[in-house]
Amino acid sequence: MNCSFSLHSDPSVFLVFHLLLAHSCRGQSQLIGPSQPIVAKVSDDIILPCHLDPAEDVVAMTLEWTRPDLDPNFVHMRRAGQDLVDTKHPSYKGRTSLFINELRRGNISLKLSKVKLSDGGTYHCFIPKLDKRSSVELVVASGAVSSPVIDLVGTDSNTGAVVLECESKGWYPEPEVLWLDGEGNLLSAGPTETVRGPDDLYTVSSRVTVEKRHSNSFTCRVQQNKTNQARETQIYISDDFF
């Protein structure tokens, strides 16, 4: 007697196989976060994206958002259909929420209101039941950066060189300072001096020694690549100073 069979010849076997396959595929969902950092400015309301793919209903599951560098490290927790306020870090109270209507679609993105400089860091979204985790990097930029101010602070009568100083305030994270000549060529400058104020914002200054160029034009550029912020100021030095 031949005991072999075809799935197509027995509908009940096919149904069982289909249910088992669906159950096994369910465990293959991945928790997906953004591939690039999220950039925000102070006082912004922003969203930290995190979702299951393929989508899966997580309404009844425990959902956690954490920051490992904090103690306690919970930014937001939802359990048994309720947000647990007492477990979260005090600095996040009243500023986080989930999109409740999106939970059935596997979307556990976190809304963070009134962003602070101290919010910058790496966040983890986690679903314990599925043992799935993803991470989101948040970079917080200051919205009050100043344009660089250039001063002529010295001359060298022997070499005909001029010393320029550039200063810019209100930066976060810490920026870099570049000096350029009139043709856009990078100039060799001294080390950048950095001061971090009580408000956590950075003031940066840099000096460069320049000699007479064709255009006598020089630019100080202050930039923060992570936040895509840049400010620059140009100065023209009269021949009388060389």
- 179: tokens are 């000096």
41-57 tens-digit pLDDT = 999 999 999 999 999 99
The answer, yes or no, to whether residue 215 has pLDDT greater than 80, is no
- 17: tokens are 């196989």
Same fold, 29-141 and 149-241: yes
| Total number of residues shown for the chain | 242
Q: How far apart are CA 218 and CA 166, in angstroms?
A: 11
- Provide the residue ranges of all domains of the chain, joining segments of one domain with +: 29-141, 149-241
Q: How far apart are CA 44 and CA 114, in angstroms?
A: 5
CATH 3.40.50.11540 applies to domain 149-241: no
The fold of the 29-141 domain, in CATH, is: Immunoglobulin-like (2.60.40)
Instruction: Give residue 209's identity as a one-letter amino acid code.
Output: T
Q: How far apart are CA 96 and CA 50, in angstroms?
A: 14
Of 113, 83, 84, the closest CA to residue 96 belongs to 113
123-162 tens-digit pLDDT = 999 999 999 999 999 999 988 899 999 999 988 777 778 9
Average predicted confidence (pLDDT) for the chain: 88
Q: How far apart are CA 189 and CA 212, in angstroms?
A: 16
166-202 tens-digit pLDDT = 999 999 999 999 999 998 999 999 999 999 999 899 9
Q: How far apart are CA 118 and CA 139, in angstroms?
A: 10
Q: Where are the beta strands (DSSP E) in the chain?
A: 30-32, 38-41, 46-48, 51-53, 63-66, 74-79, 82-83, 96-98, 110-112, 121-127, 132-141, 149-156, 161-171, 176-181, 193-196, 202-210, 217-224, 229-236
Of 193, 191, 189, the closest CA to residue 218 belongs to 189
The answer, yes or no, to whether residue 78 has pLDDT greater than 60, is yes
What was the pLDDT predicted at 53? 95
